[in-house]
Amino acid sequence: MATTPISAVGVNGRLSSTFHGSWTPKFSGDCRPFAVRVPAVAKPVRSSPKMGNVNEGKGLFAPVVVLVRNVVGRKRCNQLRGKAIALHSQVITEFCKSIGADGKQRQGLIRLAKKNGERLGFLA
């Protein structure tokens, strides 16, 4: 392989550079002769999303709910909680009908009731 010398002369002949190389890659099959391998960095492990109430065990009524759950069992407690939520949603719906509120306002009231239940500890 022959090298081709190239000269560059700058202004007033002060800058001069000579290239004694080849325009072809030195490694066959790789056109990046100075490729540097960077070690893979491990990604941080994300914790899986936790379902449930962020106020677990907090709130005014949380101790009562935990006591009832321990006495009647988790399955029966969830059934009772579901019935109570359904009854409360019906009461909110009837209230909205009586005052003439639309479905969007009713939905907002039901969401507000859920937030308040979480804060008070009913969903502990």
Q: What is the pLDDT of residues 45-73, one digit of tens each?
A: 776 666 565 556 688 889 999 999 999 99
**DSSP string computed for 18-72:** EEEE-SS-SSTT-S-TT--PPPPPPPPPPPPPPPS-TTTT-STTHHHHHHHHHHH
Residue 74 — φ and ψ, nearest 5°?
Answer: -65, -45
* pLDDT at residue 59 in the model: 86
- 92 neighbors 109 (Cβ within 8 angstroms): yes
Res 86: pLDDT: 93
- CA 111, CA 105: separation in Å to the nearest integer? 10
Instruction: Write down the pLDDT at residue 45.
Output: 73
Q: Which amino acid is at 36?
A: V
pLDDT of 54 reads 58
Angle at 64 between CA 74 and CA 88, to 5 degrees: 75
Residues of the chain with pLDDT under 70: 1-36, 38-40, 42, 47-57
Beta-ladder partners of 21: 4
